[in-house]
Amino acid sequence: MTERIKAPPTRLGSGGDKVFRGIIIFLALCIVAIFVLSIYQLVSGGWETFSKYGLGFFFTSGWSPAKDSYAALSFIASTVLTSVLALIIAVPLAVASAIFITEYAPKWLAEPVSYLVELLAAIPSVIYGLWAIFVMAPIIQGWQLQILQNPQLNAIPLLHVDIPSGRGLITAVLILAIMVIPYTASISRDVIRLVPRDQREAAYALGATKWEVIWKAILPYARAGILGGVILSLGRALGETMAVAMVIGNRAALPTSIFDATATLASVIASEFGESGGLQLSSLIALGFILFLLSLVVNFTARAIIAKLTPEGIKV
Amino acid sequence: MSMAGQLDLSGTRSQILRRQSSRKASNIFAGVVISICTLIVLIPLFAIFYYLISKGISSINLEFFTQSFKPIGETGGGMLHAIVGTLEMVGLASVIGVLLGVSGGIFLAEYREHKLVPWISLVSDVLSGIPAIVMGLVVYAMIVLTSKHYSGLAGALALGFLMVPIVVRTTEEVLKLVPSTIREAGLALGLPKWKVTLSVILPAATSGIVTGVMLAVARVSGEAAPLIFTAFGNNNFNADPRDPMAAMPLSIYQYAISPFPEWHRLANAGALVLIIMVFSATLIARVATRQRK
């Protein structure tokens, strides 16, 4: 790249330039201020809780507004559990669709399919939640009723049904999986597109079939980018609120069966906020701070992986 | 794992042929599985559309757009209050989003040598990863707790904060695409840098910036999470942003989790209208990108 040319210090321009530069830097610093303010507000809003429970708030469970006693561990665990389960379902499907778009589909098909996947990402969370309540939950309720009629199945701890409401861990995991697929898919698609042609052509020249090219030449090359994309999607899933809050059942306990109601950090904040005050309110803000930290860690990990493992030339 | 292992030519002719046919079979199998997976990915999109259209379209009429909420027991009513609330809050949010976002993008793209650039770039990336609900809590603690009053302004502020990182990133990217020859031509004419930036570079990048802003608008107009604690929702018509305000996604949430069929009907119709609003914004973004190419 050629060296950038700086503006000559003319009498006309330099004053205006300084002012303009000052304004731009001030406004850019406002972005930093939003971040700093976020940390300050979350910590000071949750201070009552942090000073009462200390670190114990993070590492014990037992959230009970009735006893005015609060702890975060069960929500942290449920949040990670739902997100990881959702990704286990979503990632293979997302990567497959990215491979379809980049390697299999002819151009006339690739473009509409990739547009449709983008549309999936644009659907608001609350609409996924609405659909999950009125379409998915009744289907899952049907499964639950069948299990209840079959005592042998119901005796299996993982499949045990307490209340056949259709709302619980499995419903939340499924809707969350559907919601993160487009993120993982679009990052994977971009990464796969960046794999150099030589890589493909070299493999084809050795007589590899299409699948062998994908599995042995393209995917290993795109591995780091895809992994980074998966972790970024994990960050999305952790903070996903509305759809999850609408179908997870919101019960402050760890699930033991896939049908159990539970609550994630985000879902408990959304559902209990209305009737809260005092220590409960402070605890909800403290949960928000934990969610904030979790998403920071996840995002930094994703970026570090992408930066470290990506082969030169396909940095995203 | 190595290519050589797969293409091993040792063995008798029949062994080689068998190996080749199994490779062909797994190739076909993989193609089929990948196509099926893609289909599975797209099924929810069609299912959601089918659901919204079949349940929602019958409730979309003049009343839906001209009436506000009616109390339980009465039939009818519309979502005028929520539509107005969403438009107003997203409009106010865009002011913050565009002002801070475009300035941030200009700073990152046009002052690349400045020592603050990596920091602001990092913070903007970090902000984009913060869940919307957390941003709602932040604005709640900042505005609502201190003023002891829910308001549309607080909601707009939360949505604006969410827009900022999206606009920063797209603005930075399109500004970097503007050829440096254009920049240099302006400077060579003796124009000061601020004038080159404002009247040469920004106009050249307008369509790209519009894309970024519309994507951000599409994203935040569907957000309910940050509004629960800020705009709070309001069943009465209210256009004054200093008071609690309704919003489409918030009302859809409240109606959907209620036990009343009449409210469910409104939620379905509202969801159809909201998705059309969001997709129109996405479409504008896409058209703006096309024009640039």
ipTM metric: 0.90
Coil, strand or helix at A68: coil
Task: For an interface test with A, give the residue of B29, B35, B133, B252 to mutate (most A CBs within 10 A).
Answer: B133
Q: In this complex, do A99 and B34 lie within 8 Å of one another by their Cβ atoms?
A: yes
Q: How big is chain B by its Cα radius of gyration, in Å?
A: 26
Q: State whether residue A298 sits within 8 Å of chain B by CB.
A: yes
What residues in A contact B138, CB-CB < 8 Å? Answer: 37-38, 41-42, 288
Tell me what pLDDT residue B171 has.
94
Residue with tokens 């062909």: B24
Residue A151 and residue A130: Cα distance in Å, rounded? 32
CA distance A42 to B122: 20
Looking from the CA of A60 toward its CB, the CA atoms found within 13 Å total 11
Burial B102-111 (b: 16+ CB within 10 A, else e): bbbbbbbbbb
Distance of CA B73 to the CA centre of its chain: 36
- DSSP for B142-209, written as a single string: IIIHHHT---HHHHHHHHHHHHHHHHHHHHHHHHHHS-HHHHHHHHHTT--HHHHIIIIIHHHTHHHH
Q: Distance, in angstroms, between B227 CA and closest chain A CA?
A: 10
Helix (H, G, I), strand (E, B) or coil at B241: coil
Backbone dihedral region of B128: left (phi > 0), alpha (psi from -120 to 50 degrees) or beta? Answer: alpha
For residue B4, the model assigns a pLDDT of 43
Residues in B closer than 8 angstroms to A123, CB to CB, are: 45, 48, 222, 275, 278
Chain A residues within 8 A of B197 when measuring between CB atoms = 20
Q: Does A277 touch chain B (CB under 8 A)?
A: no
Q: How far is A71 from chain B (nearest CA, A)?
A: 18
A197's tokens: 């042609």
pTM: 0.90
Q: How far is CA A283 from CA A11, A214, B277, in A?
A: 58, 49, 36
Inter-chain residue contact B131 with A238, CB threshold 8 Å: yes
Rounded Cα distance, B35 and B20, in Å? 23
Looking at chain A, which residue has its C-alpha nearest residue B41? Answer: A93
What residue spans of A134-277 are helical by DSSP H?
Answer: 137-149, 151-155, 169-193, 197-205, 210-212, 219-239, 242-247, 265-272
Does the distance separating the beta carbons of A38 and B138 come in below 8 Å?
A: yes
Q: Which residues of A touch B257 (CB under 8 A)?
A: 133, 246
Residues 6+ apart with CB under 8 A from B108: A28, B117, B120, B121, B124, B168, B172
8 Å CB contact of A239 and B47 = no
Contact B24 A209 (CB under 8 A): yes
Q: What is the pLDDT along chain A (316 residues), one digit of tens a residue?
A: 455 666 555 555 568 888 999 999 999 999 999 999 999 999 999 999 999 998 888 888 888 888 888 989 999 999 999 999 999 999 999 999 999 999 999 989 999 999 999 899 999 999 999 999 999 999 999 999 999 988 888 888 888 888 888 899 999 999 999 999 999 999 999 999 988 888 889 999 998 999 999 999 999 988 888 999 999 999 999 999 999 999 998 888 888 899 999 999 999 999 888 777 789 999 999 999 999 999 999 999 988 888 777 666 555 4
Domains and CATH numbers, chain A: 17-309 (1.10.3720.10)
Closest-CA distance of chain B to residue A48, Å = 13
* Alpha carbon distance A263, A292 (integer Å): 17
The answer to whether residue A218 neighbours chain B at the CB level (below 8 Å) is: no
Number of H helices, E strands in chain A: 15, 0
Would you state the pLDDT for residue A242? 93
Contact A38 B135 (CB under 8 A): yes
Is the CB of residue A86 less than 8 Å away from at least one CB of chain B? no
- Is A285 in contact with B137 (Cβ distance < 8 A)? yes
One-letter identity of residue A280? Q
Low-confidence ranges of chain B (pLDDT < 70): 1-10, 291-293
Smallest Cβ–Cβ distance between A13 and the set B48, B127, B192 belongs to B192
A77, A83, A85, A88 alpha-carbon torsion, rounded to 10°: -140
Reference A17, options A28, A9, A26; nearest CA is A9
- The pLDDT, as a whole number, for residue A64 is 86
> How many residue contacts between A and B have a Cβ separation below 8 Å?
289
Three-state SS at A95: helix
A14 touches chain B (CB under 8 A): yes
* Contact of A126 with B277, CB cutoff 8 Å: no
Interface test with A, best of B8, B29, B194, B201 (most A CBs within 10 A): B194
Q: Which residues pair with A64 in a beta bridge?
A: A69
Give the pLDDT confidence score for residue A95 in this predicted structure.
96
Q: Do A29 and B37 touch (CB under 8 A)?
A: no
**A30–B100: do the CB atoms touch at under 8 Å?**
yes
